[in-house]
Amino acid sequence: MAAKIDNLLPLSAEPPSNNQRLFLRYFTGVLIDLVVLNLFVEYSGKVFISSFSISLLAAILLQLLLKLTIAVEHWVAGFFHERPGAPMKFLRFFFAWLVLFGSKFVILEALSQVFGDNVRFQGAFHGIVTLIAVVVTMLVAEEAIVRLYRKLN
């Protein structure tokens, strides 16, 4: 059986470059976000997206904004981590929380500006609670896929 499989493989396999790894990471993230978004559209009744194409574009925008949010959060945490003392430790966690929580309002407004009524989150506090649920689900799904992938090694 191994001989049949060996005939299908290339003679020399090159390991993926860092750019290829980065592409695959974001590509997978966008697809996960797309699935989560459309599951919320189908089953929640609080998320409305006018078409699949819009949901794909929204997933790409969400992926970019979430990665930007995480980068800003790490920068803020690093800023306070470099300074010693209990007040700096408190400020590190407070501002990290503030960035992570406040970013959801920025994300909601960005979706509204880019897509208008084609993407809507409804519910408590003008849809922010629903958006937080969607984003948390996206992050949990991405982490679950990463953990599954690592276990396959």
What are the pLDDT digits (tens) for 5-14? 666 666 667 7
Closest CA to 44 of 55, 53, 36, 52: 36
C-beta separation of 45 from 116 below 8 A: no
Kindly report, residue by residue over 14-31, the tens digit of the pLDDT: 788 899 888 988 999 999
| Residue 86: pLDDT over 90 | no
Given this model, what pLDDT does residue 119 score? 94
The pTM of the full predicted model, rounded to 2 decimals, is: 0.79
Report the pLDDT value the prediction gives residue 5, as an integer from 0 to 100: 62
| Predicted local distance difference test score (pLDDT) of residue 42 | 95
Q: Which letter does DSSP use for residue 82 in this model?
A: T
* pLDDT exceeds cutoff 70 at 101: yes
Q: What is the pLDDT of residue 3?
A: 58
| Largest Cα span, the chain | 64
Measure the CA–CA gap between 121 and 124, rounded to whole angstroms: 10
Judge whether 104 and 131 are in contact, CB under 8 Å: yes
